[in-house]
C-alpha cells in the first residue's frame, strides 16, 4: 500500500448491518464508491451505499459473481460468516482484503484465532476445549469444570452461547449451540467461566505505513452473550492497559494488514485475559460515535486507505446503550424518539433494519456526561424511551 492513494476507491462491504452503515457513511464522506453486500435486502448499509447485492456470502460462486461484476479495489468484511477461502483467491488476484484474507480466515471461527493466540503466541486465555459431538462435550466439560461457557465456533453476538452451571445442562447447551451455529460448522468451544471485574474492548488501529495506535479502552456489559451497554473510558489501571495493548499488538501483528480491530479482554483482579477479536469495527465501539474526534468507522476507513490519523481525542465520559426489539415484526415504527432526544448530549441511531425479532438490535442510544456513571444512566434512559411498535 503506498502513501499516494487516489480517491475515490471502490469498496465492497461484505455484511451490511449497523456497523457497515456507519462505515459506509464515513467512506461516502470522502466520496468513495461502495457496494454493500448481505444476505437480505434493505440491510442498513445498503440504504446508504451506491449499490447493493443480495447473496449468500458463504457461497464461493456468489462471491465470485459480485466481484467479477463490480471489480472492487478493496473487499471489507463486516461479519464473520463469509467463505474466507475465496477471499484468499481474491487477494491473490490483486484485490486488497481487509485486514488480510488470512486474518479473516483466522477470525471466522473461534478455534483458529484461539489456537493462534494461545498456542502460537502464548497468550493467556480462558482454559478451553472443543467438541464435535454431545459425547465429546460431556467429557471435555468435565475436564474444564463448571461453570463453563459453550459457544458454536462460528457465531457472533452471543448466538448459540450458554453458561453451563452443571452436568445436567450440558445437553441443552449442545443443542442450543448447534441450532444457532452460523455457516456449516458443527463444532463447539467450551471455555472456563472467567469471573471478571470488568471486560473491555481495546480498539486497535493497524496501519500500512505507520505504527499501531489504540483508542482509550471501552468497558462493556453483556447479557445472553450480547452487548447491552458500553462506556469509554473504562476505568482500568495503567499497568493493565499496557498489558492489554501489548497483547493486542502481538495478535494484530500476527494477523497483519490494516484496519481497526476490536480486541476483547476479561480483566480480573490480577490478570488481563485475552478473549477474542474482530478484524473490523466492534459493536461496543459504537460509543465512539459520540466519544471521540474520529469514530471507529472513520478510523477503519483511514487505516484501510492509508490516510493519516494524526491524533485521536477522547471527548469525555461517554456511553452507549442498545435499543432491542421485543417481538417478531416486519413493519417497524419507533415511538419515543423526541423524548429520548430531549436531554443535552444525547443522540441516537436507528439502524433501519427491515424486520425485528426478540433481542434483535435495532438502534443505539449515545450519551456524554460529567462521569461514566452518569453517561451510562443517560444512555440507558434514552434507550428505554424508544419503543418499537408493529
Ligand atoms: N469464558 C467466559 N467467561 C465469562 N464470560 C464469558 C466467557 N466467554 C464469553 N463470555 C461472555 O459472553 C460475551 C460474548 O462472548 P464472545 O465475545 O465470545 O461471543 P461473541 O458471540 O463473539 O460476541 P460478539 O460477536 O458480540 O463479540 C462476552 O463478552 C462475555 O460477557
Ligand atoms: N457482534 C457483531 C455485530 O454486532 N455485528 C453487527 O450486527 C450485524 C448483524 O445484525 P443482525 O443479526 O441483527 O442482522 C452485522 O452486520 C454487524 O453490523
Ligand atoms: Mg465478543
Q: What pLDDT score does 182 carry?
A: 83
Using DSSP's 3-state secondary structure scheme, residue 167 falls into helix
Per-residue pLDDT of 305-315, as tens digits, reads: 999 999 999 99
Mean pLDDT value of segment 22-36: 98
Average per-residue pLDDT for the chain: 97
Q: Residue range 339-364: average pLDDT?
A: 98
Residues 6+ apart with CB under 8 A from 265: 199, 200, 201, 202, 244, 247, 272, 273, 274, 275
Question: Which pLDDT score is estimated for 4?
Answer: 81
Residue nearest atom 15 in ligand 2 by C-alpha distance? 17
In sequence order, the 6+-apart residues with CB closer than 8 A to the CB of 221 are: 227, 228, 229, 230
Q: Is 360 near ligand 2, meaning CB less than 6 Å away?
A: yes
CB 161 within 8 Å of CB 150: yes
Return the closest-CA partner of residue 8 out of 17, 67, 24: 24
- Tell me: the pLDDT tens digits for 226-278? 999 999 999 999 999 999 999 999 999 999 999 999 999 999 999 999 999 99
Name the binding residues for ATP. Answer: 110, 151, 156-161, 191-194, 199
Q: Which residue has the higher pLDDT, 1 or 98?
A: 98
Domains belonging to the chain, first-starting first, are 10-97 (3.40.50.20), 127-192 (3.30.1490.20), 198-389 (3.30.470.20)
pLDDT the model gives residue 210 = 97
pLDDT given for residue 1 in this prediction = 55
Determine which one of 53, 264, 296, 298 is catalytic: 264
354 C-alpha vs ligand 3 centroid, how far in Å?
25
264 is catalytic: yes
Q: Distance (Å, rounded) from C-alpha 272 to C-alpha 84? A: 30
> Can you tell me the mean pLDDT for 128-143?
97
d(CA 329, CA 325): 9
Distance CA 105, CA 124 (A): 22
359 pLDDT higher than 70: yes
CA 316 centroid distance within chain: 23
Reading the block at residue 74, the C-alpha cell is 478493496
Task: Give the pLDDT band of residue 3 (cuts 50, 70, 90).
Answer: low
pLDDT of residue 2 exceeding 60, the answer is no
Q: Strands, DSSP E only, in 39-134?
A: 51-54, 74-77, 96-97, 128-131
Q: What is the DSSP string of 212-229?
A: -EEPPPEEEEEETTEEEE
Q: What is the predicted pLDDT for the residue at 111?
A: 94
Using only C-alpha atoms, the chain has a radius of gyration, in whole angstroms, of: 20
Task: Evaluate if residue 360 carries a pLDDT over 90.
Answer: yes
Q: Computed from CA positions of residues 135, 141, 146, 152, in that sequence, does the dihedral angle turn out positive or negative?
A: negative
What pLDDT score does 325 carry?
97
- Residue 128, helix vs strand vs coil: strand
The SS3 call for residue 377 is helix
Binding residues: 18-19, 78, 110, 151, 156-161, 191-194, 199, 264, 276, 283, 353, 360-361
**Ligand 2 within 6 A of CB of 156:** yes
Given the residues 64, 115, 271, 276, select the one marked as catalytic.
Answer: 276
Residue 158 falls in the annotated catalytic set: yes
Residue 185 exposure: Cα atoms within 13 Å on the Cβ side: 26
In the reported structure, the alpha carbon of residue 233 is separated from the centroid of ligand 2 by a whole-number distance in angstroms of 23
The pLDDT of residue 65 is 98
Q: Which atom of ligand 2 is nearest to the CA of 20?
A: 18
Q: Is 278 known to be catalytic?
A: no
122: left (phi over 0), alpha (psi -120 to 50) or beta: left
Pocket residues: Cβ below 6 A from ligand 1: 126, 149, 151, 155-158, 161, 191-194, 199, 222, 225-227, 264, 275-276, 283
Q: Residues 284, 288, 317, 320: which is the catalytic one?
A: 284
3-state helix, strand, coil in the chain (%, to 5): 35, 30, 40
pLDDT band at 140 (very low <50, low <70, confident <90, very high): very high
Active site residue 276: yes
Contact 261, 279 (CB under 8 A): yes
Task: Report, as an integer, the average pLDDT of 33-42.
Answer: 98
pTM over 0.95: yes
Spatial distance between the Cα atoms of 146 and 173, rounded to a whole number of angstroms: 13
Q: Residue 143 — pLDDT band, cuts 50, 70, 90?
A: very high
C-alpha cell, 70: 463490480
Distance 262 CA to ligand 3 centre (A): 9
Whether the CB of 20 sits within 6 Å of ligand 2: yes
Instruction: Please name the residue whose Cα sits nearest to atom 7 of ligand 2.
Output: 17
Q: 19 CA to middle of ligand 2, Å?
A: 7
Confidence grade of residue 8 (pLDDT, cut at 50, 70, 90): very high
What is the C-alpha separation between 359 and 345, in angstroms, rounded? Answer: 26
284 is catalytic: yes
pLDDT at 390 over 90: no
Q: How much distance in Å is there from the Cα of 222 to the middle of ligand 3?
A: 9
- 110 vs 161: CA distance, rounded Å: 12
> DSSP character for 79?
S
| Distance from the alpha carbon of residue 276 to the mean position of ligand 1, in angstroms | 8
Question: Distance (Å, rounded) from C-alpha 47 to C-alpha 25?
Answer: 10
Q: Tens digits of per-residue pLDDT, 200-232?
A: 999 999 999 999 999 999 999 999 999 999 999
Amino acid at each position: 500500500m503506498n502513501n499516494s492513494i487516489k480517491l475515490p476507491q471502490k469498496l465492497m462491504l461484505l455484511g451490511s448491518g449497523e456497523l457497515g452503515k456507519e462505515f459506509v457513511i464515513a467512506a461516502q464522506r470522502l466520496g468513495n464508491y461502495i457496494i454493500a453486500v448481505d444476505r437480505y435486502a434493505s440491510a442498513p448499509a445498503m440504504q446508504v451505499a451506491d449499490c447493493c447485492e443480495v447473496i449468500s456470502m458463504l457461497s464461493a460462486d456468489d462471491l465470485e459473481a459480485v466481484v467479477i461484476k463490480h471489480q472492487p479495489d478493496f473487499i471489507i468484511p463486516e461479519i464473520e460468516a463469509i467463505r474466507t477461502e475465496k477471499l484468499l483467491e481474491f487477494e491473490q488476484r490483486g484485490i486488497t482484503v481487509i485486514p488480510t484474507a488470512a486474518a479473516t480466515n483466522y477470525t471466522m471461527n473461534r478455534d483458529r484465532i484461539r489456537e493462534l493466540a494461545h498456542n502460537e503466541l502464548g497468550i493467556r486465555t480462558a482454559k478451553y476445549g472443543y467438541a464435535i459431538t454431545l459425547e465429546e462435550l460431556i467429557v471435555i466439560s468435565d475436564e474444564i469444570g463448571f461453570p463453563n461457557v459453550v459457544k458454536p465456533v462460528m457465531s457472533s453476538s452471543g448466538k448459540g452461547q450458554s453458561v453451563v452451571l452443571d452436568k445436567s445442562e450440558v445437553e441443552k447447551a449442545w443443542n442450543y449451540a448447534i441450532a444457532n451455529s452460523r455457516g456449516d460448522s458443527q463444532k463447539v468451544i467450551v471455555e472456563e467461566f472467567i469471573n471478571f471485574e470488568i471486560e473491555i474492548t481495546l480498539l486497535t488501529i493497524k496501519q500500512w505505513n505507520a505504527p499501531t495506535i489504540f483508542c482509550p479502552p471501552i468497558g462493556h456489559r453483556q447479557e445472553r452473550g450480547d452487548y447491552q451497554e458500553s462506556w469509554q473510558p473504562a476505568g482500568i489501571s495503567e499497568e493493565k492497559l499496557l498489558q492489554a495493548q501489548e497483547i493486542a499488538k502481538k495478535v494484530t501483528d500476527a494477523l497483519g494488514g490494516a484496519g481497526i480491530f476490536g480486541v476483547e479482554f476479561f480483566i480480573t483482579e490480577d490478570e488481563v485475559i485475552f478473549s477474542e477479536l474482530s478484524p473490523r469495527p466492534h459493536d461496543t465501539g459504537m460509543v465512539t460515535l459520540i466519544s471521540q474526534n474520529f469514530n471507529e468507522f472513520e478510523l477503519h476507513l483511514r487505516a484501510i486507505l492509508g490516510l493519516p490519523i494524526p491524533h485521536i481525542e477522547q471527548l469525555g465520559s461517554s456511553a452507549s446503550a442498545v435499543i432491542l426489539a421485543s417481538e417478531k415484526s416486519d413493519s417497524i415504527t419507533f415511538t419515543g424518539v423526541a423524548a429520548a432526544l430531549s436531554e443535552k448530549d444525547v443522540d441516537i441511531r436507528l439502524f433501519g433494519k427491515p424486520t425485528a425479532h426478540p433481542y434483535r438490535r435495532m438502534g443505539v442510544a449515545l450519551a456524554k456526561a460529567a462521569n461514566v456513571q452518569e453517561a451510562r444512566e443517560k444512555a440507558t434512559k434514552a434507550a428505554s424511551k424508544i419503543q418499537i411498535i408493529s
